[in-house]
Amino acid sequence: MVGYRREICGAWRVSRASDYQDRPALLALHRNICRWRDTVPGPFDEASSTVSEVAKSLLFIPYSGRNGAVEPALAVGWTLNIEMFFYLVFAFGLLLKERHRLTYLTVTLGSLMLARFLSTEVAAFKVVASPLLSEFLAGIFIAVWYLSGKALPKTMDMLFIALGIAGVALSFWVEPPDGGFRRAVMWGLPAVLLLIGALSYERNGRQRIFEFFRHIGDASYAIYLSHLLTIAFCKYVFDKTGLEPGNASLGQQLSLFAAVFVACMAVGMACYHALDKPSHQWMKQWLRRYWARPTANAIPLRP
């Protein structure tokens, strides 16, 4: 459910914009360098990636692979390419006065999405004009609405949450479109309903704090980016042990699914604690020390 991260990402960036008010260049650096490791090619690729492809993956530069798909060496990292581009657009917005930022983001992201209707085969264009940018824009408007102090009535917040969950459940039975705005609506609309309902539920003072779920949320990207490796390893184990999930009974299939699910969660959490969290903390400390360094006073030259 990466789409939900896009709404939350857009909302979170607006709510934390003041942290980067005087240092917009940090926006694309602060939380993203530690994710470079996840764009390195994995052993499950059909063909080894070239040096050029690895370099482009590490720099979040979109390119068309040998299979024709616009994705980095680690296929699921395509979401990071869109996210990095959004960070870049948002960082430029921090150079503007606050009252102009919403207009800038709306016009910029909206124009880019409309530009998708231009016929082009340039790989980068498919990212910068992706309809999925609408999900970031939705998150931005949700943040503006929430920061204004508004919330749904208590009778409505649970309805929005229920509709959002129903939309998620429906997506498991309805085949999602290959791309375009239909996909953004199918995945984005339930995310919008769920996020608005959850924020209102919290503001109405009825939330319960579940540290376990918060922990999963913190590790969600580590879980997402590592799950293909985990599934590939589980498949290897099944093949070596002679297990064939396709020929197993329903009970065995459910058991295998549960085992793989737990394995994906465990590996993702381990990656978060061993790699993601420490590298993020180190980067924050380094940036704080860097920006805390005194600037030498310039001495004017005398004739």
Is the alpha carbon torsion for 223, 224, 228, 231 positive or negative?
positive
Q: Is residue 164 part of a domain?
A: no
Q: What's the confidence (pLDDT) of residue 54?
A: 84
What CA–CA distance (Å, rounded) separates 197 from 162? Answer: 9
- Structural domain includes residue 171: no
Q: How confident is the model at residue 132 (pLDDT cuts 50, 70, 90)?
A: confident
Establish if 98 belongs to a structural domain: yes
Residue 35's pLDDT band, with cuts at 50, 70 and 90, is very low
**Position 172 pLDDT exceeds 80:** no
CA 258 to chain centre: 25
233 belongs to a structural domain? no
Per residue in 177-208, pLDDT (tens digit) is: 666 777 788 888 999 999 999 999 988 887 66
44 pLDDT tier (thresholds 50, 70, 90):
very low
Backbone angles phi, psi at 125, to 5 degrees: -65, -35
- Per-residue model confidence (pLDDT) at position 256: 87
The per-residue pLDDT for 193 is 94
Q: Which residues contact 272 (CB under 8 A, 6 or more apart)?
A: 218, 219, 222, 223
Read off the pLDDT of each residue in 254-258 and give the average, rounded to a whole number: 88
The boundaries of the domain holding residue 103 are 1-150
Q: What is the pLDDT of residue 97?
A: 92
Over residues 96-118, mean pLDDT:
91
Classify residue 241: in a domain, yes or no: no
Structure confidence at residue 181 (pLDDT): 76
Counted domains in the chain: 1
* In-domain check, residue 84: yes
Quick one: pLDDT at residue 26?
46
Asked if residue 56 belongs to a domain, the reply is yes
Indicate the length of the chain as a whole number.
303
Buried b (16+ CB within 10 A) or exposed e, 23-45: ebebbbebbbebbeebbebbeee
- Residue 284 domain-assigned (yes or no): no
